[in-house]
Amino acid sequence: MNILLTTIFDFPHTGGLSTHVDTLKKGLEEQGHKVDVLSFSDVNKTIQLGYVKGPSFLMNRIVKGSGIIWSQKARQRLLLNTIQNFLKNNKVDIINSQDAFATLASIQTNIPTVMTTHGYAAFEMISKGSVPENSPQAKQMHDVEVQAYQGAGQVLTVDQRIREYIKDKANVEAISIKNFINITDFTPNKDKQNDYRKKYNISESTKVLFIPRRLTRKNGVIQPVKALPKVLEQFPDTQLLFAGEGEERSAIESLASKLGIKHNITLLGSVSHHTMKEYYSLSDIVLVPSIHSKGVEEATSISALEAMGSGTPIIAGAVGGLKELIDHNVHGLLVNAEDPNELAQSITLILQQPDNGESMAKNARKKIEEEHSHIAAAEHFLNAYKSLYDRAQKNV
């Protein structure tokens, strides 16, 4: 098949959606299909600044949230133009859009469009503080989501909770396909742990807690900082390593200074895909401390899948899709991440009992191989594509 993946966001960029698109593309291509990606990155940089980013900034200064809605609608218009230009010279059998606005652009081409839903767009904007809760802008975003769900030929979700949400909000039957990773990219590599630590100037004796998360509220990234003083009582040479950027960065830095643990925390910023693999391998524990935030719960986190594939013990917040992914005490530990004592106790438990952590990590790797391979996922996506394509051909 000739498959086009679309999004109004940049591609590639640091984050789960971009990783999903890149990994899905590889899986589909490995099975002999032609796959292209069109995104906001394909728009001229001058147009990006003058038509989208500049006006959006000014509008947000006047009415909070208005600029981001206008920006995403502008991106939708530009993406539609980009797709139409692409179609002049390329055959496309199916479009798989990755967000609501990309869906609304894609369906205007009259090419069968499958929508993949990665989360709760409106609630996530509210959680980040980009759009005020109960505002006209929040309602607009909820309306856009429903319009996209109902307009797509088929909706796919990355976990069951999002599927149920779509059924409730839009009366649309979606198909849930478990999130996935490239299991040959993320593989246990603990024999190189000390080599990687030397590369990044980290002592062999240091206990490394790795948080591969965008620094946003729903990801609970402030919670390990709150828990760290308790951990340091037993393991004084412990480091938190954060890989990601976001609006919570200043809060993390402020709390670390207040608690006197600034020297135990490193904010790496955005980290490349290749480098992430090395950080997973050099770490003692990976933390995915997601929390409930303004109606948002974590879907099946790509970061959690990568950690499990890499053979490093994982501690995750007991919310959303993480509860579907991890069986407590089997594949890792699930905690109420908003309770610093519970999080600290779970961290110290694994540090005290590394053999138990290693056993859970082995179980997690086995689950990834069996249920979250990018090859198996590509087959599921292809089934959805072919089903919609065949239905569309019958209606021609």
pLDDT of residue 294: 66
Could you tell me the pTM of the whole model?
A: 0.80
Q: Which amino acid is it at 143?
A: D
Q: What superfamily in CATH does domain 190-371 come from? A: Glycogen Phosphorylase B; (3.40.50.2000)
End-to-end CA distance of the chain: 18
Judged against a pLDDT cut of 80, whether residue 14 lies above it is answered with no
Q: Is 315 helix (H, G, I), strand (E, B) or coil?
A: strand
> Model confidence at 19, in pLDDT bands (50, 70, 90)?
confident
Judged against a pLDDT cut of 70, whether residue 376 lies above it is answered with yes
Handedness of CA 18, 24, 30, 34 (dihedral sign): negative
DSSP-assigned letter for residue 190: G
For tokens 């828990």, the residue is 227
pLDDT of residue 293: 74
**pLDDT averaged over the chain?**
93
Handedness of CA 137, 141, 147, 148 (dihedral sign): positive
Partners of residue 286 on adjacent β-strands: 210, 314
> Model confidence at 60, in pLDDT bands (50, 70, 90)?
confident
- The C-alpha atoms of residue 23 and residue 361 are separated, in whole angstroms, by 22
> Model confidence at 13, in pLDDT bands (50, 70, 90)?
confident
Cα 290 to chain centroid, rounded: 12
Could you state, in order of their start, the residue ranges of all structural domains in the chain?
A: 2-180+373-394, 190-371
Q: What superfamily in CATH does domain 2-180+373-394 come from? A: Glycogen Phosphorylase B; (3.40.50.2000)
Q: Which two tokens stand for residue 311?
A: 């053979």
Compute CA distances 394 → 113, 156, 313, whole Å: 15, 22, 50
- The C-alpha atoms of residue 357 and residue 287 are separated, in whole angstroms, by 13
- Of 145-149, 279-283, 295-299, give the lowest mean pLDDT range: 295-299
Compute CA distances 332 → 101, 160, 313, 350, whole Å: 36, 21, 6, 10
What would the mean pLDDT of 375-391 be, rounded to a whole number? 95
DSSP 240-265: EEE-B-STTHHHHHHHHHHHT-GGGE
Q: Which amino acid is it at 233?
A: E
With pLDDT > 90 as the criterion, what percentage of the chain qualifies?
76
Judged against a pLDDT cut of 90, whether residue 332 lies above it is answered with yes
Same fold, 2-180+373-394 and 190-371: yes
pLDDT of residue 12: 85
Judged against a pLDDT cut of 70, whether residue 296 lies above it is answered with no
What would the mean pLDDT of 84-101 be, rounded to a whole number? 98
